[in-house]
Amino acid sequence: MELRHLRYFVTVAEELHFGRAAEKLHIAQPPLSQQIRQLEAELGFELFHRTKRNVQLTDAGQIFLGEVQQIMKQLQQAIHLGRQTSRGELGNLVVGFVSSAAYSILPEILRCFREQVPGVSLELHELTTDQQLEWLHAGSMDVGFIRPPVEDDKLCWETVFQESLIVALPESHRLAEQVDIDLSWLTHEPFILFPRVLAPGLYDLIISLCQQAGFSPDVAQEAIQMQTIISLVAADMGVAIAPASLQNLQRTGVVYRQIHPPTPKVAIATIWRKNETSSTVQKFLEIVREFNESSGIGHRA
């Protein structure tokens, strides 16, 4: 029994006329009648009562029709779901992100993705760059937002956002009234910084900028998450150099000031496995690229 036999049967059953059914199926009537006879022979029971004037379903044919219609409906649903999955429009996606991405590009990207691909379930995890690399290698995560660079021949990454660095100061700090901050003015200040292993590229840039200003920062406290660093600044534990998007974290007791002269920009990048075959991951990356091109806020590496 082939699928076309079932399709022929349903059409005849709906039309109750072999001529009209044949016309609808774009085949001649004799071959259609022959196909239905073959189907009845294979099933072992008659599907139709045939006379010269009309065609009627047998009781067995009526029951068979209901079941076949269900099968055809399920088949169409299976085809629809298969096509959606092949386009990356169904399934689950595990996304990691550094905390600062939540204050810049991530919310808009997620909104665009949910609008365009509502059938994909998103699972979000706030992770440091080094944690995301571990999760990607372990297969625990599909795509991430990290602080580059990353040197790993099993992973691919693209820059999607760039921003300047700023200084976060306690509200009561002696420099809080300044419009711009020269880093040399922070020579003797206690710094709050994250451990280098979490984001080596950003860490090295901050240290290099301080050294170019004539000093090595006195790290009084380390913290893993950017929002924790800002909270410690608010507690007057020290000052911090942070990505400009952290200004969107409105925290009482902190002021943000531009650095003069302007620093090199720091990046956020999407990252995924080089051998990734998931259509959902590819769809996510496609939407990230489209968003950046339309918004003009990102930069393709």
Q: What is the pLDDT of residue 1?
A: 75
pTM more than 0.85 = no
Per DSSP, helices labelled H in 139-225 are 200-212
> What integer pLDDT is reported at residue 88 of this predicted model?
66
Q: What's residue 300's pLDDT?
A: 38
Going through the chain in order, the beta strands assigned E by DSSP cover 48-50, 55-57, 91-97, 120-126, 143-146, 155-163, 165-170, 180-181, 190-193, 218-222, 240-243, 254-259, 266-273
Longest dimension (CA), the chain: 105
CATH topology identical between 91-158+269-295 and 165-264? yes
Per-residue model confidence (pLDDT) at position 298: 47
User: Per-residue pLDDT for the chain (301 aa), expressed as one digit of tens each?
Assistant: 788 889 999 999 999 989 898 999 999 999 999 999 999 999 999 999 988 788 999 999 899 999 999 988 888 887 777 776 667 666 889 999 998 999 999 999 999 999 998 888 999 999 999 999 999 999 999 999 999 999 999 999 999 999 999 999 999 999 999 999 999 999 999 999 999 998 999 999 999 999 999 999 999 999 998 999 999 999 999 999 999 999 988 889 999 999 999 999 999 999 999 998 888 999 999 999 998 887 665 443 3
Q: Which fold has domain 91-158+269-295?
A: D-Maltodextrin-Binding Protein; domain 2 (3.40.190)
Domain range annotation of the chain: 3-86, 91-158+269-295, 165-264
The CATH class given to the 165-264 domain equals alpha beta
CATH of domain 3-86: 1.10.10.10
